Structure 1
Amino acid sequence: MSSHALVTPAEEAATVIAAVLGDLLSGAHRGVVVDSPPGAGKSTLVVRAAGELAATGAPLMIVAQTNEQVDDLIDRLGTRSPEIGVGRLSAVDYEPTARVRAHPRCRVAAKVADLGSPPVTIGTAAKWATVTEGRWPWAIVDEAYQMRSDALLRVAPRFERALFVGDPGQLDPFSTVEVDRWIGLSWDPMQSAVAVLLRHNPELPVHRLPVSWRLPASAAPVVARAFYPFTGFRSGTGPGDRTLTFEQPARDALDTVLDTAAATGWGLHELPERFTVRTDAEAAAACAELAARALTREGIAVSEAGSGRLTPERIAIGAAHRDQVAAIRSLLPPEAAEVTVDTANRLQGREYDLTVVLHPLSGRRDATAFHLESGRLCVLTSRHRHACVLVARAGIAELLDAHPSTEPVHLNVPVKFPDGWEANQSMLAHLHRT
């Protein structure tokens, strides 16, 4: 009998979180790293750790990567620990969002000195890089795998000990400048903050959250096999705990794909093989129509959180490029206007009941490093709580076979896992079996 059968997901996750907090509060390590699969409760861990560190009386700084993440963490802190004062570092022209204004003890300012020494000070990595004075005993770095190592170097003088939390399977940091001069160096700025941290401090403890509370039982093993081959994780729910049904009967192939996704968690709408421009009109129309059809067929989602109608706000369409996003959005009918349509980069950290994904390699003649990056497909296929439908031109497997990886191998550069070529093949193999 496997250990999973003896320990519930909640117990397994609680054991790991207790170990993380134990290492953090012991003061025995200058840093603690937490790896997390999609939907494992990274933000929940950050908020809980912030509350426990603030309770010690020592001031804490939190570093997030985007303003959206900052505001989300402030909202969560206000809900869990409304008694804890929070300082929100921001730009001079920043207008507090409703989530920030809802926190009863949140103060917003562009300078640390104007915040009044709150227990918790939170801002983006870019904002923290402008802070030249002050030092905090504790720091929490959220989404640390999306933070470039040079960004960490700029904020590291501000703290003594830190908790680094992130998802190693998501998109890597990116740069708009040439970085060849740094390849192979242990402090290569194009590596993530965690990668450089561990290369220079291999003794730091690394914990792995073992449960995804977002992905259903039908998705966790598929995503784990493709994108987390050496660590794995399990779903917080079992088969049958979540259901997605449609009250209106199927009429055509699009409806059949939706029914398959509702029953198995996955669906593949495969278009005829063809080389196309990036904004493939037929593929974009299929993505928009699938989302609209899920609404007109009156979908109902049932989960441990309750049951409810499938609304536009609970559906997302993901693509690799902004022009594809614009094409899909322009084709949505009025009743589906509130459906989220965005790129993988902007969908990170968000979750929906149903997602529709335009495969990055659909209709392409080549398989570039951008389109093969495993993190991009990982983000796109791990946003859902119930079902995911991929739209793709036939022939992707053959395209992959015709374009094996030709990326140069550099000395002193750790091999990245998972390999994007294999991750794509793994996902395609499962979809064709569905």
Structure 2
Amino acid sequence: MNVIPSPATEAATVITAVLSDLRSGRDRGVVVDSPPGAGKSTLVVRAAGEVAATGAPLMIVAQTNEQVDDLIERLGVRSPEVGVGRLSAVDYEPSDRVRAHPSCRVAAKVADLGSPAVTIGTAAKWATVTEGTWPQAIVDEAYQMRSDALLRVAPRFERALFVGDPGQLDPFSTVEVDRWIGLSWDPMQSAVAVLLRHNPDLPVHRLPVSWRLPASAAPVVARAFYPFTGFRSGTGPGDRTLAFGKPAEDALDEVLDTAAATGWGLHELPARFTVRTDAEAAAACATLAARALTREGVASSESGTGPLTADRIAIGAAHRDQVAVIRSLLPPEAADVTVDTANRLQGREYDLTVVLHPLSGRRDATAFHLESGRLCVLTSRHRHACVVVARAGIAELLDAHPSTEPVHLGVPVKFPDGWEANQSMLAHLYRS
């Protein structure tokens, strides 16, 4: 009889294989695919510590300043004895997390960092470095990195570990990119996609467990956004609970109760075509977050039991103007609730999330609003429950607007496409 390994054992087996490939030096690159909350940053920090322990200098490439500072904080906790150099802009002001690191130096030039064991900066900053090479590099959130950005930093390292989530947002551009479509080095493809097209024999590992998503969410998100790889939750049914101390008084409270009980809730408004900043939908998002606070929510998990506080709640939307409207409608007691776009919520986690569906109130289903990565980010930030706010009619909108994107020779087909992912998520929400 086959014995199914525990989530911890299964994850440890993959991580051991990743670190073994990294230490062997057989390949110039090692790729690690990760579902939401599978411990990407933990792997990066552990790998950095192992490389530093060998005495070989290491460079780390992240995509945003927030990611850089987060990694520095984690390095300080796990390996405080390892010297870190933070490459930055001339006017960069170190955050509290960077200042808290016991041995971190900040400078705009590599020469001013004092040859630390680990040098870390954004891809944009590393692109300005024209001298020096490192035997080993780690590229964090590599699926967010455009391939041309990798080309600019590749001369700086001999081999690299690429870690990222293939199901989330692809790189984007504000200029026309049609001239490169179909080319194997298309800059609008992710760094990993182009890397593997030109180096198909590189080892690829997949982290099999999400430690963020609860048992109620992992199979739903995996089915919608990771149909060929899959993953499971690190926790089982009943390991996490969310309960409210005050009884429900209206439909909004009932949606919160449903989400607390099943992990998912759908607050559906009447079908209507609206402007992007739909006031009724925005108000519903703000009210749901505020109600979760006033009803004295309590979250229990393997990490302990505590009150549901404003900083553990997030509201996600597709556009910045939607974010601004929702934030303006939050009452004072909910001022610390995070309200942001999918792009900026990437990599973060909360106990409860409220999502304004990208297709809510729309007349058409554009490529932007159908992008599977956007919905994946929005619906995979929570540890306990996710509530989706949407106007009725999305299913009909999807049926009336099948994909009309042109098909180009030489362009890898991405699975799942946004149409399929939206249908999968919507079907589950209606069943909840």
Aligned residue in 1 for 2:76: 78
Structure 1, unpaired ranges of 5+ = none
For residues 95 and 294 of structure 1, the distance between their equivalents in structure 2, rounded to whole angstroms, comes to 35
CA shift for structure 1 position 5: 5.7
Other structure's SS at 1:130 match: coil
CA shift for structure 1 position 425: 0.3
For residues 429 and 159 of structure 1, the distance between their equivalents in structure 2, rounded to whole angstroms, comes to 46
Q: Which string of whole-angstrom CA distances, capped at 9 and with x for unpartnered residues, describes residues 85-135 of structure 1?
A: 000000001111110011111000000000011110000000000000000
| Number of aligned positions between the proteins | 431
Give the TM-score taking structure 1 as reference length. 0.99
Q: Which string of whole-angstrom CA distances, capped at 9 and with x for unpartnered residues, describes residues 154-187 of structure 1?
A: 0000000000000000000001111111100000
For residues 246 and 312 of structure 2, the distance between their equivalents in structure 1, rounded to whole angstroms, comes to 19
CA shift for structure 1 position 31: 0.2
Q: Which string of whole-angstrom CA distances, capped at 9 and with x for unpartnered residues, describes residues 196-224 of structure 1?
A: 00000000000000000000000000000
Q: Which string of whole-angstrom CA distances, capped at 9 and with x for unpartnered residues, describes residues 311-349 of structure 1?
A: 000000000000000010010011101100000000000
For residues 57 and 317 of structure 1, the distance between their equivalents in structure 2, rounded to whole angstroms, comes to 44
Q: Which string of whole-angstrom CA distances, capped at 9 and with x for unpartnered residues, describes residues 210-265 of structure 1?
A: 00000000000000000000000000000000000000000000000000000000
For residues 23 and 260 of structure 1, the distance between their equivalents in structure 2, rounded to whole angstroms, comes to 45
Other structure's SS at 1:173 match: coil
Other structure's SS at 2:99 match: helix
Other structure's SS at 1:5 match: coil
Aligned residue in 1 for 2:412: 414
For residues 151 and 360 of structure 2, the distance between their equivalents in structure 1, rounded to whole angstroms, comes to 39
For residues 332 and 253 of structure 1, the distance between their equivalents in structure 2, rounded to whole angstroms, comes to 19
For residues 307 and 240 of structure 1, the distance between their equivalents in structure 2, rounded to whole angstroms, comes to 14
CA shift for structure 1 position 417: 1.1
Instruction: Report sequence identity in percent.
Output: 90
Residue 43 of structure 2 corresponds to residue 40 of structure 1: no
CA shift for structure 1 position 6: 2.0
Aligned residue in 1 for 2:164: 166
Q: Which string of whole-angstrom CA distances, capped at 9 and with x for unpartnered residues, describes residues 131-161 of structure 1?
A: 0000000000000000000000000000000
CA shift for structure 1 position 419: 0.8
For residues 158 and 416 of structure 2, the distance between their equivalents in structure 1, rounded to whole angstroms, comes to 33
For residues 385 and 364 of structure 1, the distance between their equivalents in structure 2, rounded to whole angstroms, comes to 29
For residues 254 and 95 of structure 1, the distance between their equivalents in structure 2, rounded to whole angstroms, comes to 42
Q: Which string of whole-angstrom CA distances, capped at 9 and with x for unpartnered residues, describes residues 50-78 of structure 1?
A: 00011111100000000000000000000
For residues 180 and 247 of structure 1, the distance between their equivalents in structure 2, rounded to whole angstroms, comes to 55
Other structure's SS at 2:352 match: strand
For residues 3 and 123 of structure 2, the distance between their equivalents in structure 1, rounded to whole angstroms, comes to 41
Other structure's SS at 1:6 match: coil
CA shift for structure 1 position 418: 1.1
Structure 1 stretches of at least 4 aligned residues deviating more than 4 Å after TM superposition: none
Please provide the CA RMSD for this pair: 0.6
212-221 vs 177-186, greater mean Cα deviation: 177-186
For residues 403 and 57 of structure 2, the distance between their equivalents in structure 1, rounded to whole angstroms, comes to 47
